[in-house]
Amino acid sequence: MNKEWGSDQGYSTMKTPTCLLLNPDQSFNSFDYEAKDKFADLEEEEARQYFYFDCFKMILHNNESLNMNTTVEAANGRHMRALDVFKYSIKYLYTRALEVIKERTGDEDFGGNDVQWVLTVPAIWKPAAKQFMREAAYQAGLAHPSNPEQILIALEPEAASVYCREQKVREFVSESGSNDASVEDTIARPETQYMVIDIGGGTLDVTVHELMENGAIRELYKATGGTFGGQNVNRQFRILLEQIFTKSFLDNYACHNPVDWLCLMNDFEVKKRGKRICEGGTTRIRLPGSFLSKFLSQRGCDINTAIQQHYSLDEIKVLRNEYLCLEPKVIRQLFKSWMTSFPTYPTFSPNQNCLRSSLHSS
């Protein structure tokens, strides 16, 4: 497993952000943390000529009329074919995977044809979205349509289940202390049933599996879930900003200051996952200087005065003309608005060998 995503930018993570930067002529520039950093380094006027895409995966689920000519909007407001965006992204990961394999094995002759590639997709995706991913993989060079077996489309909960079974119990349950038993040992008995809840940035997938005699996995109940990933919290934050600063102002700012807007939202993305929120501290989001100056020139009033039209300064305020401070009550509401959008949550009853839905309660 690659655990060094972002090492050139000072990070070391097992997961890379789905960010793609294309040049003005729509040729590939960079991916992951490198794309974020390069886009952030561009001058605003120059940035508007580039195509920057972030969190674009869900277009395959949300678009009811998905086809090979479906387009996706970049940060500069311009559109290009989604198939090309996915092709470039998969091509980067393909190339990076081969580099790592060659580096670790010392086999310089190792090539893409020596691999059976597995692309994981949310379990709730429709067949059209899965076929779209396969076509993007073909165009990225992972395989040729004449050899479809070289690419497998796997459901993310199933892939997660296989991976988790190889891990130690202590990596999942802190109360287990130094338990060196593997998850595989814990659920090794045939007919063992368990639930996999996979929640990412875009989707929530819930499936129930049963371990078979031969070690294979049987799905007891078809995948359920929806577009309930963590990006919904970001959308709630955007709605809060629109309430204070108006939607027209934010749309204009994001269009003409794409780099600064990205920095603002990236800061919120980091802070929403930080310990401060769990500990009940104040969350501070840095507002770019261009945001404050543009607001002042267009609205002609102090930013805290605008906030007070909707919130008390005990809930939200701007400190030192730089930091948007959100108190725990406000942050909790951002998460609550997202969580209460779940229509139901699944309850698994092993004895009844079923998955039933119960009304959600917070």
pLDDT score recorded for residue 360:
36
Which carries the bigger pLDDT value, residue 101 or residue 356?
A: 101
The answer to whether the beta carbons of residues 35 and 104 sit under 8 Å apart is no
At residue 52 the predicted structure's pLDDT band, cuts being 50, 70 and 90, is very high
Given a cut of 70, is residue 134 above it in pLDDT?
yes
Nearest to 39 by CA among 185, 187, 230, 257: 257
Which carries the bigger pLDDT value, residue 341 or residue 195?
A: 195
Residue type, 63: N
Q: Which segments of 204-315 are extended strands (E)?
A: 204-211, 217-226, 283-286
pLDDT score recorded for residue 161:
81
Q: Mean of the pLDDT values across residues 204-228?
A: 81
User: Is the pTM for the entire model greater than 0.75?
Assistant: no
68-82, 170-184, 200-214, 260-274: least confidently modelled range: 170-184
pLDDT score recorded for residue 130:
93
pLDDT score recorded for residue 264:
92
pLDDT score recorded for residue 357:
40
Rounded distance between C-alpha atoms, residue 316 and residue 303, angstroms: 11
At residue 172 the predicted structure's pLDDT band, cuts being 50, 70 and 90, is low
89-98, 155-164, 318-327: least confidently modelled range: 155-164
Say which residues have a Cβ less than 8 Å from residue 268's Cβ, sequence separation at least 6: 234, 237, 285
pLDDT score recorded for residue 353:
47
Given a cut of 50, is residue 362 above it in pLDDT?
no
At residue 359 the predicted structure's pLDDT band, cuts being 50, 70 and 90, is very low
Given a cut of 70, is residue 176 above it in pLDDT?
no
